[in-house]
Structure 1
Amino acid sequence: MRKTTRMIPKAFSQLLNEINKRSLHVLHPSIPKSDYVCLDLSVTNETLNSVDVSSSEKLEAYINNHIDVNSAKVAFGGYLETRNIYQRSTYFKNSNPETERNIHLGLDLWLATDAPIYAPLNSVVHSFKNNTNFGDYGPTMILKHKIQGMSFYTLYGHLSITSIENLTIGQEFKQGEQIATLGDASVNGDYPPHLHFQIIKDLQDYVGDYPGVCSKQDLDCFRDNCPDPNLLLKL
């Protein structure tokens, strides 16, 4: 796997904090923050020991129950979580714990299939692709943003197929404009419906894809290159 180059993220983090003085959303802005509930899918969550996380249907039932009992509409979380849910896929699994890809680099937002997704900032389409490996993103979109002379990218994974059918490279989206809808388990890598939202400083030579899960040995590089999405969303 290609590693990111080591970088000094201070100026970038400052930019993200400056940007967030405005109201930013990737889901419909009518959903108040009080209707979001944090979800723990890490290896330290012992309640998951009784859930067959290899089954998208059973994991979806667990997540929906978590949303319901908390009187919420959206479950969110996962940045830098070490998870077991990827062990079902040979695309991620590795017998060496140092190189197994199980540390999540984005923020997941779990809600219903076909939920609309919005551009948090003015942007242009950098690339898109249907990443069809088992456990992968499925339909994916990458947007490029340029603010105060600094460029960076946001990735949107687990979309519907229709979300990328009519896209064009360089297509512009204004802040708050709908860009996509969520896909279901039949197209999104076999997961419960959710958005994988990730910030990327240096996209390198990736097109329509970028690692959303990394190994322990690569964590320092990826953590620098992919800061916490909550710097923008403030959930």
Structure 2
Amino acid sequence: MNPLEKLLKSIQNVNVIDDSIPHDQYIPLDLSVSNTTLAGLAIDNAIDFENFIERTLSDNYSKVAYGGYNEERNLYKRSSVFNDNKTEERNIHIGLDLWIKAGTPVLAALDGTVHSFNYNNNLGDYGPTIILEHQLKNQTFYTLYGHLSLESIAELKIGASFLKGKQLASLGDPTVNGDYAPHLHFQIIKNIGDNCGDYPGVCSKSDRDYYLENCPDPNLLLKIY
């Protein structure tokens, strides 16, 4: 475990969505290529997929579905952002998804400042996105929040400060969030390079080792499972 991973693991009481929902009301959601139950589900249709999420939560008496780190998915085949037939397909998810209804408050994971933000409005993309910069115990790193509402970035300023646990944004609906069922894509980034308002959340198999090293498992910080 590298120094950043040790630091993330040591931090307690971190929430990135509505903190009134305890973790015992979270359930895992498998969207991997090996999940055969998805074969008959139109996961590329945001309305059908949202209905599936809501049924899954209701059937399990839960409020949040989570998962996806280092998960190979078919979810991105519909989008040229990930599958342009010229380069290697990107289908390895390198963030953690939290599936819950649009409008849900999104919270700053830790004290930080706004590094950048953008409306990434391609089909299958993040939609409104915020990246925070954190400096903690001689470590500089970043957290990315994707699939937000447009209102979340309407008045935002670079350098604005947010305290841990305070509302940063709210979740968007399929009309603005890249055409997905509402959810938060949460990702930790060590070296962000020249990226602004965007950073890959899905990688190719050949790049998997690099991105998993540069983007540690968000559950080290969130401790959901």
TM-score by structure 1 length? 0.93
The answer on 1:29 being equivalent to 2:4 is no
Aligned to 2:155: 166
* Superposition deviation, residue 102 in structure 1: 0.4
Q: Secondary structure at the match of 2:72?
A: coil
Greater Cα shift, 221-230 or 24-33: 24-33
User: What is the root-mean-square deviation of aligned Cα atoms in Å?
Assistant: 1.2
Q: Secondary structure at the match of 2:131?
A: strand
Aligned to 2:221: 232
* Superposition deviation, residue 61 in structure 1: 1.3
The answer on 1:18 being equivalent to 2:10 is yes
* Superposition deviation, residue 17 in structure 1: 1.1
Aligned to 1:72: 62
Aligned to 2:139: 150
Greater Cα shift, 175-184 or 98-107: 98-107
* Superposition deviation, residue 176 in structure 1: 1.2
Match of 1:200 among 180, 189, 197: 189
Asked if the contact 1:104–1:214 (Cα under 8 Å) also holds between the matched residues in 2, the reply is: yes
Asked if the contact 1:94–1:101 (Cα under 8 Å) also holds between the matched residues in 2, the reply is: no
1:124-139 matches, cutoff 5 A = 124-139=113-128
* Superposition deviation, residue 86 in structure 1: 0.4
The answer on 1:220 being equivalent to 2:212 is no
Structure 1 gaps of 5+ residues are 1-8
Aligned to 1:81: 71
4+ runs deviating over 4 angstroms: none
Distance 2:27 2:56 in 1: 8
Structure 2 gaps of 5+ residues are none
Aligned to 1:123: 112
* Superposition deviation, residue 195 in structure 1: 0.3
Distance 1:69 1:57 in 2: 18
Percentage of identical aligned residues: 52
